[in-house]
Amino acid sequence: MNQPKLTNKEDNDENQSLISHIEALRKMLLNSLIAVFALCPAGFFLAPKVINFLVKNSLPSQISKLHFFSPIEVFIIQLKTGLIIALILAFPFIANEIKKFILPALYEHEKKFLSWLFFSSTILFAVGSLVCIFLILPLIMNFSAGFATENIQATIGIGNFINISGGLIIAFGLMFQFPLLIILAVKLNFIEPESLKNKRPYVLVSILILSAILTPPNIISQLLLGVPTYILFETGLFIAEKIR
C-alpha cells in the first residue's frame, strides 16, 4: 500500500518544527555554558575553602597533613575544584533550562510530574553528596589510618585525596537518583513492579558493578556505595507501587 505523500506545506512545517527544536536545544546548551562560566570566579574563590573543609572534616588524628609533590599541583587542583563548584552552583539553572526545553511537549499532568522529578533529583543529589562528605569520607580515611604502625606511616597526596573525594561525592550524588529512576520507569510503564521484584538478584549485581566503576578500586568504597544504593532501590520500588 502506497504511503500518502506530504504536501509542500506539511514538509515545510516539519522542517520548521525540526529547526525550532534544534534552535531551542542550542539555546539551552549555550545558556547552561554561560551560567557555568559566569560562576567560575565564585567557584575558584571558594575552592581553597572547600578543600580545607574536606581535609579538616575527613582526616583522622593519625593523618595530620596532606602533601603535594609538584610546584603547581595545588593550583591545578584548585582550578579543577573551582570548576566543579561552578557546575554545582549552576545546576539549578541548568535543570530549569532542561525543564523549559522539555515542557512544551508534555501534557499538564506530565509537567507537574516532571517538576516534581527535577526538584526531587536536586534534593537527592545534595543528600547523597552530604552523606559522602560527612560520613563516607571520614570512614574511609579512618579505615586507611588504621593500617599505620610505628614503622609504617601514611603519606597521602592532596591530589590523590581530592580525586577520591570528588569521585565519591559525585558517585553518591548520582547513585542517590536510583529511587527516581525506578519511580519513572514504573510511572511510564516501562516495567512492572512485580517484574522488578523478580529481578532483585540482577539489580544487586548491577549495583555492585556500578559501584565498582564509580568508586576507587577498593572493596570498602564499593560496599559503602553499593549497600545504600540497594536500600534506595527498595525504597524507590516501594514508593513506585504506592503512587502508580
**Given this model, what pLDDT does residue 14 score?**
59
Residue 35 is predicted with a pLDDT of 92
pLDDT, mean of residues 12-39: 81
Q: What is the DSSP letter of 3?
A: P
Between CA 147 and CA 60 the distance in angstroms is: 13
- What is this structure's pTM? 0.78
Report the share of the chain in percent with pLDDT over 90: 16
Query: Which pLDDT score is estimated for 4?
Result: 53
Task: Output the DSSP codes for 176-241.
Answer: TTHHHHHHHHHHTTSS-HHHHHHTHHHHHHHHHHHHHHHS-SSHHHHHHHHHHHHHHHHHHHHHHH
How large is the average pLDDT for residues 229-238?
88
Give the percent of the chain with pLDDT over 70: 91
> Any residues with CB less than 8 A from the CB of 213 and at least 6 apart, and which?
none
pLDDT of residue 46: 95
pLDDT tens digits, one per residue of 180-216: 888 888 877 788 888 888 888 888 888 888 888 877 7
C-alpha cell at 53: 573543609
CB 50 within 8 A of CB 81: yes
Q: How confident is the model at residue 5, as a pLDDT? A: 52
Residues in a beta bridge with 157: 67
Task: Say yes or no to pLDDT of 86 above 70.
Answer: yes
Cell (9 digits) for 202: 540482577
